[in-house]
Chains A and B, each alone.
Chain A
Amino acid sequence: MNLKKISEFLLNFKKKYIYLVMFVLISTPLILKVTQETYETKEVKSIYQRVEEIYQHNKENPEDKLALFISVDFAPSTKAECDPMMNAMLRHAFLRDIPVLGWAGVPQGIDYGLERFNTIAKEYNKKYGEDYIYLGYAYPFLQAALAFGTDVRIFASTDYYGKDTYDNYPIMEKFNNYNQLGLFTSITGTSLAEGWIQYANGLFNQDVAAGVTAVNASRLYPFLQSGQLVGMMGGLKGAAEYEQMVERLEKKEIKKDIKNYLSGLYKNYEAPEENPRKYDTSYTKTELLKSVNSRKMARQGMAAQKIAHFYVIALIIIANIGYLLKKRYESRR
């Protein structure tokens, strides 16, 4: 019986073949843009509902609107998990005409956050300073966390572009205190989310939501159970859930296909000389492609991640079968 040969084969796969198979398995779903719908958990749905509540509230009393705050607390190295979360939240807010304010909690996130804010704002024809604003680097953390307790303009006296926030931006007139923020979201790969829970929620009982990398997700579960967190997106899975909810909403709101909608957005639009927009009001082909692709990033990542997971679990099972065969072969000899 060639038990020996089988066990030898099962136990000694060459590394390069393991890697080659892994490479092929993971890359195909990404190349073919296979998206993996995922079941929606309570903690992500509660964020979505909270943003919808803000939309209802703003519709009922247009005078006393609530805004959404996004704190970009992640560095490009955790982009894979955090980027789709921020895209989905920005899209949800802009789709529902909810004013968005943001800043960066980590230095590496400053420029990256701004580029994301402007790119997504471009998809919804939003004006900087009226519909959304980016306040640059929120440092030191403690002062930033307490700033919204009184008037954030004391702390963030200038925005990212260096202009005074007191008199240049109408959005800052209406939204500078925790009472005017419907939801405060920290998207991070670090433990900054716990800081926001302790200060924003702890001191000023501001509704706080968190979008964290998979590694940090379990650390925040106690805050979910205790109600200190409104909701939480954990890793690519959390991003995929929120992403698919926002895509459903977008299809309902924008009847047309996204690509035509975007290309038609700035068809006959001449920007005034002093262009308030921080982006050029025209869509190049590449930008169109990128915007459309970026709506499915998390779910594509999910498919690849699930396949990789089951591939490695299979590898482990095969190795142990080989080991058992080897043991039986040796015991029989």
Chain B
Amino acid sequence: MRKYIILFLVSLLIFSVFAQETNTSDKKITPKAELVLQDRANDGGTGFTLTFKPQNKPEELKTYFLRIYKEVNGEEILIREMKVNNSGQTVRMPMSVQKANTNVIARAYYQKDGEVIEFKEKSLSTKGEWVDSARLSAFIAAILFISMIFIYVKKARSGEELFVRRIPGLGEINDAIGRATEMGKPVFYIPGTSTIRDVATLASLNILRSVGRKAAEYTTPMKVLIQRPLVLGVAQEVVQEAYMSAGRPDLYNEDDVYLAAAGQFAFASAAQGAMVREKPGAVFLLGMFWAESLLLAETANSVGAIQIAGTDATSQIPFFIAACDYTLIGEELYAASAYLSREPKLLGTLKAQDYFKGLLLIITILALFLDIVGVDIIVKYILS
């Protein structure tokens, strides 16, 4: 019987040692974590992403420390230090450095009775890509489009007759100016309220040239109200050239093309005031607009002017359709200059654009059928 007791006591002893062992074993807990540094694709070589996944159980190891260094001519400079609570989740931190191709080092530490010990290190040298692979299809499309434009402009120059369908809004520009002349009222032109960076503004300035030329022929005073400084300079050049090519340089008065105001709603209030006081016969609202579109359109309507509007801002098209007599929708604004000037080069470009869009439509329909069958190469490589 005593043997069993001794055996029992010994096992108790071992067990207690072992038990004692377990609660001391967290001292020997090996900190485990997944530390990954990835270079960000398709960037200039400055971006990278740090991923850190703690693999210890939260009660084993509560917090980790992460320190990220960058190497600048041999010297390690700390750029970020982080305390990570072990919530079992992966920490993903996008980061960037100033210069491309820098060597980046990430070190993970854990705390053991007051002392911080490093247990993992990863390094990476960030690199950039010369060609953005995600945008390759767009680049090829741009080159293809440019070559199509060359082909059709050459065709147009060689005298081939190019048909352009009637665009409702544009046909009425000449009658609108004509009617304004009969009523002895001025013409107002607003080339959008966006900066020169917006291509819609440039498209509108191309239309301004045709409208300006017609106004010069009809000797109708034309006021051009501008909100953006750079657009002011360009608009003055365009109107001066329009009057010149209509053979009436004397009619051009630089003060007719002026900056009405410098803020979105300051411009709307100044334009509103000018419309009500000078009572224009025709108002052109062509270009990029925001919420002030309806303010301009509704005031133009209240002074009885003929309104021809056009914008590529999808959110403002409904307001122009409701408030104006004629509205150019999206793409029609960009086709306007070719339609009005009938220059072979411009008609050629319009033709190229139509065929390019036709090509894209065919590719899309093809992709649809293939996608139904389950083959999505087109979508993956061309369309996204």
Complex contact B89–A149 (CB within 8 A): yes
- Contacts A142-B94, A203-B92: A15 and B87 contacting too (C-beta < 8 A)? no
Residue numbers in B under 8 Å from A146 (CB-CB): 91-93
A37 part of interface (Cβ distance < 8 Å)? no
Verify if A204 is at the interface (C-beta below 8 Å from B).
yes
Q: Which residues of B contact A142 (CB under 8 A)?
A: 94
CB-nearest residue of chain B to A155: B82
Interface size in chain B (residues, C-beta < 8 A): 12
Produce 1/0 per residue, B353-374, CB < 8 A to A: 0000000000000000000000
B268 to chain A, nearest CB (A): 14
A204 and B83 form a contact (CB under 8 A): no
- In the bound complex, do residue A177 and residue B93 qualify as a contact, i.e. CB atoms below 8 Å apart? no
**Are A149 and B94 CB-contacts (below 8 A) given A154-B82, A154-B83, A177-B85?**
no
Q: Among residues 173 to 217 in chain A, which have CB atoms less than 8 Å away from a CB atom of chain B?
A: 177-179, 203-204
**Residue pair B82, A150 in contact (C-beta under 8 Å):** yes
B384 at interface by CB-CB < 8 Å: no
Beta-carbon contacts under 8 Å, B79-102 to A: 81-85, 87, 89, 91-94
Total A-B pairs, Cβ < 8 A: 30
Cβ-based interface call for A247 (8 A) = no
Closest approach, in angstroms, between the C-beta of A22 and any C-beta of chain B? 13
Interface membership of chain B positions 23-54, coded 1 if the CB is closer than 8 angstroms to chain A and 0 otherwise: 00000000000000000000000000000000
Give the complex CA separation of A179 and B81 in angstroms: 21
* CA distance in complex: A142, B91 (Å): 12
Number of interface residues of A (CB under 8 A): 13
Q: Is the interface of B mostly helix, strand, loop or mixed?
A: strand
A143-165 interface mask toward B, CB cutoff 8 Å, 1 = contact, 0 = none?
10010011100100000000000
The A interface, classified by DSSP as helix, strand, loop or mixed, is helix
Q: Which residue of B84, B87, B302 contacts A179 across the interface (Cβ within 8 Å)?
A: B87
In the complex, A179→B85 CA distance in Å? 10
A152 to chain B, nearest CB (A): 11
Chain B residues near A179 (CB-CB < 8 A): 85, 87
Q: Which residues of chain B have C-beta atoms less than 8 A from A150's C-beta?
A: 82-85, 91
Pick the contact of A177 from B81, B87, B92 — CB < 8 Å?
Answer: B87
- Considering the complex, which residues of chain B in the window 82-126 have a beta carbon less than 8 Å from any beta carbon of chain A? 82-85, 87, 89, 91-94
Q: How far is the CA of A11 from the CA of B302 in the complex (A)?
A: 15
Q: How far is the CB of B293 from chain A (nearest CB, A)?
A: 16
Q: Are A149 and B91 in contact (CB under 8 A)?
A: yes
Which residues from chain B contact A143 at a C-beta distance below 8 Å? 93
14 A-B pairs with CB atoms under 8 Å apart are A143-B93, A146-B92, A146-B93, A149-B89, A150-B82, A150-B83, A150-B85, A150-B91, A151-B85, A154-B83, A177-B87, A178-B87, A179-B85, A203-B92
